[in-house]
């Protein structure tokens, strides 16, 4: 049976919305991305990009935007 994996990147400023990981059943794509999520708790003036992955159906872009983070890229592959 084929599996779909979606890799997507979000960009934002301020605290990373950790609850969105649960909501989209997502996880950081790399260790570097995991570290970037913690950087957002500091007072950075520039937006940060974090790449995530999920096996769930679709990424909830409107909900990300409600937290002030924007989905800037999204790619789904079937394995």
Query: What's the confidence (pLDDT) of residue 42?
Result: 62
Query: What's the confidence (pLDDT) of residue 40?
Result: 61
pLDDT (tens digit, 9 = 90+) per residue, 6-53? 999 999 988 899 999 999 999 999 999 999 988 766 666 788 999 999
Please, which pLDDT band fits residue 79 given cuts at 50, 70 and 90?
confident
Contacts 24+ apart (CB under 8 A), 20-23: 20/60, 20/63, 20/64, 20/67, 20/69, 21/52, 23/60, 23/63
Domains of the chain, residue spans: 4-78
Query: What's the confidence (pLDDT) of residue 11?
Result: 96
Query: What's the confidence (pLDDT) of residue 28?
Result: 97
Query: What's the confidence (pLDDT) of residue 29?
Result: 97
């Amino acid at each position: 049976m084929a599996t779909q994996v979606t890799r997507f990147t979000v960009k934002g400023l301020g605290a990373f919305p950790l609850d969105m990981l649960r909501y989209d059943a997502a996880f950081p794509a790399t260790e570097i991305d995991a570290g970037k999520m913690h950087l957002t708790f500091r007072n950075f003036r520039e937006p940060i990009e974090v790449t995530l992955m999920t096996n769930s159906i679709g990424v909830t872009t409107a909900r990300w935007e409600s937290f002030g983070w924007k989905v800037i890229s999204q790619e789904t592959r079937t394995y």
